[in-house]
Amino acid sequence: MTQKVVFLDRDGTINVDYGYVYKLSDLKLLPGAGEALKLFQENGFKLIIVTNQSGISRGFYTLTDAIKFNNALNTELGKYNVHIEEFFICTHAPEDKCICRKPSPVMVLEAIRKYHIDVGASYLFGDKLSDVECGENAGVASFLVTKDNSLLYWANLLIKQFI
């Protein structure tokens, strides 16, 4: 059985991006993010985050700090009855020239294999062109989240028109 999934970047897509976000005190959801994720989840989508966290490689914070932040994010989203299935994290900086950093599709492809994902029925959302390229490189329809086209905007549009 295949699963439909919404892949999401984290910072700037779900929560406010202050730059190298890892402090629990910096956890603030973007307007409508919880509602958008609930809408996707209620329509049968699993939610998976794929995130570049170069602050780890740069020594600004640790992988443990990032995991604590992700757990706190999941707790915050729980207020909307939303659950992130898994967080895929690239810990490398661009200069590390790793194979997993977006726009590489490696993290998305790993999730596709692990969760038997129906690529044609899944979506990816992010606030940077590298996020959109990542999804497109994996064969997943991808959308850019902006101030004018928030995650809630896309959720409402896709649920009403395509699902």
DSSP string, 19-51: SS---GGG--BPTTHHHHHHHHHHTT-EEEEEE
Instruction: Name the residue range of residue 24's domain.
Output: 5-153
Per-residue pLDDT, 2? 84
Tens digits of residue pLDDT in 108-137: 999 999 999 999 999 999 999 999 999 999
Asked if residue 158 belongs to a domain, the reply is no
Asked if residue 101 belongs to a domain, the reply is yes
| pTM score, whole prediction | 0.96
Per-residue pLDDT, 161? 78
Q: Looking at residue 55, which CATH number applies to its domain?
A: 3.40.50.1000
Give which of 12, 69, 5 is closest to 37, Cα–Cα: 5
Asked if residue 95 belongs to a domain, the reply is yes
Please state the rounded mean pLDDT for residues 54-74: 98
Asked if residue 148 belongs to a domain, the reply is yes
Asked if residue 18 belongs to a domain, the reply is yes
Residues belonging to the active site: 9, 11
Give which of 153, 155, 150, 110 is closest to 134, Cα–Cα: 110
Number of domains within the chain: 1
Asked if residue 129 belongs to a domain, the reply is yes
Asked if residue 161 belongs to a domain, the reply is no
Asked if residue 163 belongs to a domain, the reply is no
Where does the pLDDT of residue 99 fall: very low under 50, low under 70, confident under 90, or very high at 90 and above? very high
Please state the rounded mean pLDDT for residues 77-84: 98
Residue 48: C-alpha distances to residues 45, 97, 148 (Å): 9, 24, 23
